[in-house]
Structure 1
Amino acid sequence: MSDELKRGLEGVLVAESELSHVDGEVGTLVYRGYDIEELARDASYEEVLYLLWYGSLPTREELESFATSLADERDVDEDVLATVRTLADAGERPMAALRTATSMLSAYDDGAEVEGREGTLEQGARITAKIPTVLAAFERARQGQPPIDPDPELSHAGNFLYMLTGVEPDEVSEETFDEALTLHADHGLNASTFTAMVIGSTMADVYSGVTGGIGALSGSLHGGANQDVMELLYEIHESDKDPVEWVKDAREAGRRVPGFGHRVYKVKDPRARILQERLRDLAAASGDDTWLQYTTAIEEYLTEEGLVEKGIAPNVDFYSGSVYDSMGIPMDLYTPIFAMSRVGGWVAHVAEYQADNRLIRPRARYTGPDSAEFVPIDER
């Protein structure tokens, strides 16, 4: 057994997976062999869920049945919604509220005792269907508005936007949001996916795994960079300075530009390329290309400065925030929306790992004292 220390488990292989593969050197991402650009362009989020959970793209009949069964699970018990309102009134952070509500969902799951892969996927489908309802209800509660019942006739993406705003989204917004969900659905053994998988390895239920995944995703080093990007863009906008000049000054002052650099990608994140094009579509539809101009100019400048050559390239967060902002979504909902998408990957990884399960139990190198003399409490 090797005693080599690998901080952060960097480069350590802990499992085999058929779900997704990231090639950071060339900038590709595939789900079960399908390129992410093709899936984002031609498949719905529901199709991607089916692919991740069941191993193949669905036929039209399979998709209709799957999408219908998912839509039928969108309703959330009133007790959970009451808790969501309480959390909103208390000023709770959206990710913390989502974590609490997701854990609470298991109390109202009549099928929560189903075992094996089938039970994991059934529970996972219910969680995946209900998280958008919880999140939309939380935001509306913060605005002093009642929740909007889910519409089973709308897609997963379209229904969330409808529940959030009370208005059915236009085609560009729905397609863009659907693509964003697809792009964030899975990404290898990132921190939140690994967390869910570790919990799953104890044979805990998928509610526990997803709740743990949400907790891991809430950390500033994992899920919040898209909000950081938008805060930066608004800061630039309010300064009335040219975005490139602003970034030059910020870098000289020692500030880091969020949305650049990734633990795996050494070139531009393929998801960033896709969202940049969707930002173009949104800008064209609205007539406001401010964020497109800012992000494109900043990327071109930092590329000319050699950051990309050094392996510090735009990641998915650099464009996802401006895409969400263009649809009127509040900044502190960006990471919960990430969770709303990534739950599909968490469920898939838990189901896959549990099929050939081994408890994940690494070691730590002990660095404490070799011996210590115990002193009775009255003599200390």
Structure 2
Amino acid sequence: MNPRLDLLQPYPFERLRQLFNGVEAPADRSPIRLSIGEPQHATPAFIQEALVMNLRGLSAYPTTAGGDGLRETIAHWLTQRYDLAPIDATHEVLPVSGSREALFAFAQAVVDGSRRDPLVVCPNPFYQIYEGAALLAGAQPVFLNQLPEYDFRLDMDSLSDEQWSRVQLMYVCSPGNPTGKVLQLEDWKQIFERADRHGFVIAADECYSEIYFDEGAPPLGALQAARRLGRNAYERLVVFSSLSKRSNVPGLRSGFVAGDRQVLKQFLLYRTYHGCAMSVPIQAASMAAWRDESHVRENRTLYRKKFAALEPILGPALATRLPDAGFYFWAKTPCDDREFARALFADTHVTVLPGQFLSRVSAGVNPGEGFVRIALVAPLDECIEAAERIAGFVSRRFGQQA
């Protein structure tokens, strides 16, 4: 077996399962799971219909690059969403089987193991796929802390020049999971300058880009930032997006990558051997989803209602603050986050995810310590019930006013 598999750490939800071993939740309370970022809003009927109406496409092998119609639909969406010059659908867009699969595969295609001690930069806290992808590609992950005292900005100066010189790939997540931080133009300028200086590729994970509060101020995207800074060829930049959160279709496994055509040309070659091609019915359903914005606006409205209802309840208990975007509260805990999650489950049957499970020690700090991630994915009434249980628990256990 590949010895690098031994480097992988247990996934956060396996660690959560182990944390809860031997814990009995109260049987008289219904379980409410706010630990996993799995959208639970209804999948729009028109997406389901598009899938069913194209089932005959199962009789054909799909192409790795996807059909012209899907690539053109995605290219049009990108130009409209981010106010870009026309995207070349043939060379600058590639459909993928969900952003998770593509984020992992990308490192395998990008990292050159023949070079000395390659590094892959990850935000911290982070999506654990980044770390696993780096390790299995033969690189060492290094982490940039995102701390509340610095408004969750990436600590770019925590790596030495020698370390930056060995970086081959940098994962960036905006809006951030779990902090909800949206990078601004100045943040992107610093990242692009580092990439130019050291020659590494940027993988921008934007799967939460369509969950935000102000319809008139959507989050800045990486391609959008590049264009505003005159980087019209998107040098060494590839963005990853997905329908899972935007359209409530996590089981569809549909997303795309877009950006630097030279990087995508090589990534397509890799994927030809990797064997991940999107089936024709999934492509048809994806085109229907990308072409419609009304269901996405309705989806955002549902999340806004949840944040508006929960913030007054959780704010006094856990000093929560509204994220820039996304559907998580990154909430400060009054004790060790693992202890908090375990005791909360035992007392209330509500599940949240300890922040330590989403981060690593870097520069002597684990930025997830003392936080829990609360995913507002359940229906509104369940989210309100969960918030009231959490606030009551904090008040009883720690004497804090809820």
Q: State TM-score, norm by structure 2.
A: 0.24
Q: State TM-score, norm by structure 1.
A: 0.25
Which has more helix, going by share of residues? 1
Which has more strand, going by share of residues? 2
